[in-house]
């Protein structure tokens, strides 16, 4: 039950993230605006006051409020995970072992693993099984402090299957956290279009994308434009069609090679361009001057056993609006914990803990077009926050691999997983 009025008290550090208008760049990426010994008032799911406990606890409005005492811990905005492949049916454990044996991501795909093998499983899975799988992941994410998640389709790779997955995602919105769906039909070429990727793009543009638009099943459209994925002309055709239909654009770019996808994303005014491990250094200033958010995904680099992360420092120095996400997916980043993304950003990409937190909250929210209502803890914003078992926010990047979240609150509601959600549910039908 959401109490009508809630007083959050006892925060040793409350990270408001109040500051310059998003997206935050350069020095703005360090703006945490921390209040020590803080309190916060929440009414009907919205923050109505935040400040030092000495002031907030004396407000007349808190006299009959329910109390949430966080006992000297850190309170910060809930994480916004702006890049996930949440709905995938089943894990890819065969691929995992092939990779350990030394096969590359591209070799695994050629051997029948990879995205195409997920597509086979997802097409066969029942809607209930898909829902159960994604629902379990949402609770896992919520338990780690994530309050909003972007979720891509792209594991069915045909019209009916993609629409079905987007419908499942739509049904999960708010169950228990906010889900923003993205259509990623151009994730890989399905078996029936083998060797005919242009024809597959034609099919997506002429049949599937208009159907997604008509049913309002996605806010964004995404494409995987890389070596051994879709070509630059194919991506342009697909993204221009998406833009004409009113979708916001997101692009998987420069994970294995920069074939021009980053420049294309900027040119088309994409909300976000994601990965960037192999970004052409000449394009960094172009991205830095743009309004396209540079979303970095260090989990996939770690899981693939790579060492070349996105050049976060060069991007920040060029003025890029950097965001962080998990890239949660069964093939290259089975990591749902945004705290781990923060830790990797600090240790592998030399982002400071403050920069990583801004990237994982307010900038990620901006890339999804929702920074006006979430990503910071200020009056008028949704009460989306996490309580961390820490006395100092820098512990998030420091205790890597841990989950420090002890409470996650979405729209003023404390999230507590129902018993049955915590058990298996691994069946995919
Ligand atoms: Zn991805």
State the average pLDDT over residues 109-138. 92
- 396: CA distance to ligand 1 center in Å? 23
- 376: CA distance to ligand 1 center in Å? 25
Instruction: Supply the DSSP string of 8-19, one letter for each residue.
Output: EEEEEEEE----
- 52: CA distance to ligand 1 center in Å? 40
- Measured distance between the N- and C-terminal CA atoms of the chain, rounded to whole angstroms: 34
| 214, two tokens | 């008509």
**Bigger pLDDT: 211 vs 228:** 211
- 85: CA distance to ligand 1 center in Å? 6
- 215: CA distance to ligand 1 center in Å? 24
DSSP 62: G
For the entire predicted model, the pTM comes to: 0.96
Domain boundaries, the chain: 5-77+373-414, 80-367
- 83: CA distance to ligand 1 center in Å? 6
- 131: CA distance to ligand 1 center in Å? 20
Beta-ladder partners of 408: 386
Return the closest-CA partner of residue 15 out of 413, 403, 374, 386.
Answer: 386
- 300: CA distance to ligand 1 center in Å? 9
CA dihedral 282, 286, 288, 290 (to 10 degrees): -160
Give the max Cα distance, the chain: 69
Per-residue model confidence (pLDDT) at position 419: 77
Per-residue model confidence (pLDDT) at position 3: 55
Binned at pLDDT 50, 70 and 90, residue 182 comes out as: very high
Return the closest-CA partner of residue 166 out of 221, 113, 112, 121.
Answer: 221
| 103, two tokens | 């096969």
Per-residue model confidence (pLDDT) at position 220: 98
H-only helix segments in 173-231:
197-203, 209-214
- 225: CA distance to ligand 1 center in Å? 11
**Hey, how many other C-beta atoms are within 10 angstroms of the C-beta on 403?**
15
Helices and strands (H and E) in the chain: how many: 17, 16
**Topology given in CATH for the domain delimited by 80-367:** TIM Barrel (3.20.20)
- 81: CA distance to ligand 1 center in Å? 12
**Are the CB atoms for 363 and 22 separated by under 8 Å?**
yes
| 207, two tokens | 């049949």
Q: What is the pLDDT of residues 213-227, one digit of tens each?
A: 999 999 999 999 999
- 274: CA distance to ligand 1 center in Å? 8
When the pLDDT of each residue in the chain is averaged and rounded to a whole number, the result is 95
The CATH class given to the 5-77+373-414 domain equals: mainly beta
Beta-ladder partners of 409: 385, 414
Q: What is the pLDDT of residues 253-279, one digit of tens each?
A: 999 999 999 999 999 999 999 999 999
- 71: CA distance to ligand 1 center in Å? 38
- 375: CA distance to ligand 1 center in Å? 21
Per-residue model confidence (pLDDT) at position 111: 86
Q: Which residues have beta carbons under 5 A from ligand 1 (an ion)?
A: 327
> Is residue 426 scored above 90 in pLDDT?
no
State the average pLDDT over residues 38-47. 97
CA distance 28 to 24: 5
- 223: CA distance to ligand 1 center in Å? 9
- 325: CA distance to ligand 1 center in Å? 9
- 341: CA distance to ligand 1 center in Å? 14
Beta-ladder partners of 410: 413
State the average pLDDT over residues 108-122. 89
- 261: CA distance to ligand 1 center in Å? 14
**Are the CB atoms for 179 and 149 separated by under 8 Å?**
yes
CA distance 62 to 6: 8
- 255: CA distance to ligand 1 center in Å? 10
**Are the CB atoms for 115 and 189 separated by under 8 Å?**
no
| 143, two tokens | 């338990």
- 333: CA distance to ligand 1 center in Å? 9
Buried b / exposed e over 75-114, threshold 16 CB at 10 Å, is bbbbbbbbbbbbbbbbebeebbebbeeebebeebbeeebb
- 382: CA distance to ligand 1 center in Å? 27
- 306: CA distance to ligand 1 center in Å? 16
């Amino acid at each position: 039950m959401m109490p009508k009025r809630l007083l959050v008290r006892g925060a040793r550090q409350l990270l408001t993230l109040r500051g310059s208008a998003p997206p935050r760049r350069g020095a703005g990426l360090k703006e945490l605006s921390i209040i020590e010994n803080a309190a916060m008032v929440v009414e009907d799911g919205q923050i109505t006051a935040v400040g030092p406990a000495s002031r907030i606890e004396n407000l007349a409005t808190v006299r009959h409020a329910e109390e949430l005492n966080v006992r000297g811990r850190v309170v910060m905005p809930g994480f916004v995970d702006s890049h996930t492949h949440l709905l995938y049916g089943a894990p890819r454990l065969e691929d995992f072992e092939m990779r350990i044996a030394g096969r590359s991501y591209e070799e695994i795909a050629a051997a029948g693993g990879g995205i195409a093998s997920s597509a086979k499983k997802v097409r066969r899975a029942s809607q209930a099984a898909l829902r159960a799988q994604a629902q379990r992941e949402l609770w896992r994410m919520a338990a780690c402090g994530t309050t909003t998640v972007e979720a891509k389709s792209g594991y069915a790779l045909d019209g009916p299957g993609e629409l079905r997955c987007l419908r499942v995602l739509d049904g999960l919105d708010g169950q228990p956290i906010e889900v923003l769906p993205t259509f990623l039909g151009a994730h890989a070429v399905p078996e029936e279009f083998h060797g005919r990727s242009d024809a597959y793009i034609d099919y997506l543009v002429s049949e599937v994308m208009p159907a997604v638009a008509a049913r309002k099943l996605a806010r964004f459209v995404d494409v995987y434009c890389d070596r051994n994925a879709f070509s630059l002309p194919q991506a342009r055709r697909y993204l221009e069609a998406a833009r004409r239909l009113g979708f916001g654009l997101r692009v998987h770019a420069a994970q294995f090679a920069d074939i021009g996808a980053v420049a294309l994303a900027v040119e088309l005014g994409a909300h976000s361009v994601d990965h960037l491990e192999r970004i052409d250094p000449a394009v960094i200033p172009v991205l830095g001057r743009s309004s396209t958010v540079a979303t970095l995904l260090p989990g996939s680099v770690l899981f693939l056993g790579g060492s070349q992360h996105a050049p976060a420092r060069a991007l920040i120095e060029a003025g890029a609006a950097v965001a962080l996400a998990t890239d949660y997916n069964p093939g290259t980043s089975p990591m749902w914990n945004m705290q781990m993304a923060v830790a990797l950003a600090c240790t592998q990409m030399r982002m400071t803990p403050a920069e990583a937190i801004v990237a994982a909250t307010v900038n990620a929210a901006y890339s999804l077009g929702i920074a006006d209502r979430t990503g910071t803890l200020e009056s008028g914003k949704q009460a989306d926050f996490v309580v961390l078992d820490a006395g100092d926010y820098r512990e998030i990047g420091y205790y890597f691999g841990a989950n420090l979240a002890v409470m996650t609150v979405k729209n003023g509601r404390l999230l507590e997983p129902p018993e049955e959600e915590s058990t298996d549910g691994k069946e995919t039908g």
